[in-house]
Amino acid sequence: MAKIFCVANQKGGVGKTTSAVNLAAGLAKVGQRVLLVDLDPQGNATMGSGVDKRQLELSVYDVLLESASIKEAAIFSEKCAYHVLGANRELAGAEVELVDLERRDQRLKLALAAADSDFDFVLIDCPPSLSMLTLNGLCAAHGVIVPMQCEYFALEGLTDLVNTIKQVHANLNPDLKIIGLLRVMFDPRITLQQQVSDQLKSHFGDKVFNTVIPRNVRLAEAPSYGLPGVVFDPSAKGSQAFVEFAKELVQRIPSL
């Protein structure tokens, strides 16, 4: 059975897409069959996986509107060694088009059920808001991976996300839980980051992943080459951290 995880945080620019594409590449590197679902109309995860969002014949939009299956719409990225269910601007329209449809928040879940045996991991890159798109992600997932920067306001944003996850858990998806908090763009020289990191660990215990993703310029450069850092420069500190994170996640699966 595929493990389905949303990469979510209501804040923009916290490293969701960077985490999603690099975790996908890291998991592929350690032999896992991975599908990356781009649920953000910006299509950054699509482009960052070497798939041109402007050339998509079928996308996650068609899957949500049930005019295509995942098998039909997902593209295998040769360079990245994982499948991508891409997104582009068209997806912004799905928000409105889904409103009047039945099971509108369960569309992705149903589509993924049909592809379950094809993948070990499905990672869903969510947009930075609680929209119908994010809700489709949260309803389809077994859990949420929350990338966060160790800054003062990060903790505040986390309260909102935790409440959202609780509500979806109670009303729509009893499977849903927080898989873990991933500390990203970490700079150990900054005392505040160290303090917030310690605070996170004391509040959330082993819900905080052991692996820490450092701030690393190669991870930021990679998208302009249409690649995850893990593929673009495997020797970079940030890339190595994501491969470590992939291994940690695989190890945690039995206890989830």
**The only residue of 44, 46, 49, 136 in contact with ligand ADP, by rule CB under 6 A:** 44
Q: Which does 12 bind (CB under 5 to 8 A by kind): Mg ion, ligand ADP, none?
A: ligand ADP
DSSP helix/strand/coil, 147: strand
Question: Residue 82 Cβ, how far from ligand ADP at the closest point, in Å?
Answer: 17
**The only residue of 49, 173, 211, 216 in contact with ligand ADP, by rule CB under 6 A:** 216
Q: Confirm or reject binding of residue 26 to ligand ADP (CB under 6 A).
A: no
Give start and end residues of each alpha helix (H) in the chain: 16-29, 44-47, 60-64, 70-73, 91-98, 107-113, 132-140, 152-171, 191-204, 217-221, 229-232, 237-252
Q: Confirm or reject binding of residue 123 to ligand ADP (CB under 6 A).
A: no
Q: Confirm or reject binding of residue 173 to ligand ADP (CB under 6 A).
A: no
Question: Residue 114 Cβ, how far from Mg ion at the closest point, in Å?
Answer: 26
Question: Residue 209 Cβ, how far from Mg ion at the closest point, in Å?
Answer: 19
Question: Is 143 or 147 the residue whose CB approaches ligand ADP more closely?
Answer: 147
Question: Is 129 or 171 the residue whose CB approaches ligand ADP more closely?
Answer: 129
**5, β-bridge pairs:** 123, 143
Q: What is the amino acid identity at position 183?
A: R
**Smallest Cα–Cα separation from 123: which of 204, 231, 222, 28?**
28
Residue 109 CB-half CA count within 13 A: 18
Helices 132-140 and 152-171: crossing angle in degrees, nearest 10, is 70
Query: Is there a contact between 124 and 39 (Cβ–Cβ < 8 Å)?
Result: yes
Q: Which does 211 bind (CB under 5 to 8 A by kind): ligand ADP, Mg ion, none?
A: none
Question: Is 44 or 216 the residue whose CB approaches Mg ion more closely?
Answer: 44
Give me the residues that bind ligand ADP (CB under 6 A), please. Answer: 12-18, 44, 128, 184-185, 213, 215-216, 219-220, 238
